[in-house]
C-alpha cells in the first residue's frame, strides 16, 4: 500500500481502441495505483473509456471517478482539477499520460504539415503544461506532491522515422526539469518516464490503420528492435515505474528521466 490514502489525478486514464488485449499505460497505472491504496480521478477525452477504467478500478476493490476533458482545452482541464479537489480536497499525484504520433499526422520532415505540427505539439506538450499549471497551485498549497510525465525514449534515439513526436517528447523532458527546480521549495517532485517500444493499443494498434499493415507485422518488427529478450514492454512496465516515482520510495528523486525501454537507450551514441 505504497500510495495509501493518496489522491491520483491521471490524465489519459482511458485507452486507445484496438483489437488486441494489450493494456495502455494510463489504464495500467490507474489500476496499479488503486491497488496500492490511491483514490483515482480518471480523466480522458473519451468519457466512455475513462469510465471503463474507473469501473475496472472499482471492480478491483478501489475508488475511482471519471470525467471527460480534452488536454488542449484549458477550461476543461481547470474544471477537472477543480472537480477532483472538490471531491477529495487534495491532489497528491498528477500523472500525465497523453500523446499522439502518426495518428496526428507525424511524418518524415519532407511530409510534415503545419496542421500536424500544431496538433501534435498541442496534445503532447501544451496538454501537459496546462494540467501542471492548474494542479501546481494545489500541490504548492499543500506543500507536497508528485508529478509523473510520460515522455518517450524516442527523445534520445539517434534515428526515428518521424520528427514531431520525439521533438515534443524531448520538450517535455526539459519542461519536467523546470517543474522540478521551480517547485522543489514546496516539496513538489517532478519526473519523467521514457517508455521505449511498448505493446500498447496506442503504440501498436493505432499504427495498423495509420500504416495499413497487420498488427502481427508491426509487433514483430518492434520486438526485433528491443535488446532485452527481443520483446516489447507493456503498459504494466510503465505503471510500475510510475508507481515508484509517485510513491515515497522516490522521496528524494526529482528532475530525472527514467528509461523503461528494455535497454534501447544503452546503445545510443
The residues carrying an active-site annotation are: 165
The whole-angstrom separation of Cα 9 and Cα 30 is 9
Alpha helices for the chain (secondary structure H):
25-35, 47-59, 74-88, 114-121, 127-141, 164-183, 206-211, 215-223, 235-246
Query: Other CB atoms closer than 10 Å to residue 103's CB: what's the count?
Result: 14
Task: Please name the residue that has the C-alpha cell 517535455.
Answer: 172
Distance of CA 224 to the CA centre of its chain: 24
The whole-angstrom separation of Cα 194 and Cα 221 is 20
95 close to 242: Cβ distance less than 8 angstroms? yes
The whole-angstrom separation of Cα 199 and Cα 190 is 26
- Element (H or E) spanning 191, and its range? strand 188-195
The whole-angstrom separation of Cα 153 and Cα 82 is 32
The whole-angstrom separation of Cα 89 and Cα 94 is 14
Bridge-based pairing of strands 188-195 and 257-260 is parallel
The whole-angstrom separation of Cα 88 and Cα 128 is 22
213 close to 207: Cβ distance less than 8 angstroms? yes
Amino acid at each position: 500500500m505504497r500510495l495509501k490514502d493518496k489522491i491520483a489525478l491521471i490524465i489519459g486514464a482511458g485507452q486507445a481502441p484496438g483489437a488486441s488485449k494489450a493494456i495502455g499505460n494510463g489504464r495500467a497505472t490507474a489500476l496499479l495505483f488503486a491497488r496500492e491504496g490511491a483514490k483515482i480521478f480518471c480523466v480522458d477525452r473519451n468519457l466512455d473509456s475513462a469510465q471503463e477504467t474507473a469501473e475496472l478500478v472499482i471492480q478491483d476493490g478501489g475508488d475511482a471517478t471519471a470525467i471527460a476533458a480534452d488536454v488542449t482545452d484549458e477550461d476543461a482541464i481547470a474544471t477537472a482539477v477543480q472537480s477532483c479537489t472538490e471531491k477529495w480536497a487534495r491532489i497528491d499525484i498528477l500523472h500525465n499520460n497523453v500523446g499522439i504520433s502518426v495518428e496526428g499526422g507525424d511524418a518524415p520532415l519532407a511530409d510534415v504539415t503545419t496542421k500536424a505540427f500544431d496538433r501534435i505539439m498541442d496534445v503532447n506538450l501544451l496538454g501537459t503544461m496546462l494540467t501542471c499549471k492548474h494542479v501546481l497551485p494545489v500541490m504548492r498549497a499543500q506543500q507536497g506532491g508528485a508529478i509523473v510525465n510520460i515522455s518517450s525514449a524516442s527523445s534520445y534515439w539517434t534515428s526515428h522515422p518521424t520528427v514531431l513526436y520525439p521533438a515534443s517528447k524531448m520538450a517535455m523532458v526539459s519542461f519536467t526539469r523546470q517543474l522540478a527546480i521551480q517547485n522543489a521549495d514546496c516539496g513538489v517532485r517532478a519526473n519523467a518516464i521514457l517508455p521505449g517500444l511498448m505493446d500498447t493499443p496506442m503504440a501498436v494498434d493505432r499504427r495498423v490503420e495509420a500504416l495499413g499493415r497487420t498488427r502481427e507485422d508491426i509487433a514483430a518488427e518492434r520486438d526485433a528492435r528491443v535488446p532485452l529478450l527481443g520483446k516489447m514492454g507493456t503498459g504494466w512496465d510503465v505503471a510500475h515505474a510510475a508507481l515508484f516515482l509517485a510513491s515515497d520510495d522516490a522521496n528524494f528523486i526529482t528532475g530525472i528521466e527514467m528509461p523503461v525501454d528494455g535497454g534501447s537507450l544503452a546503445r545510443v551514441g
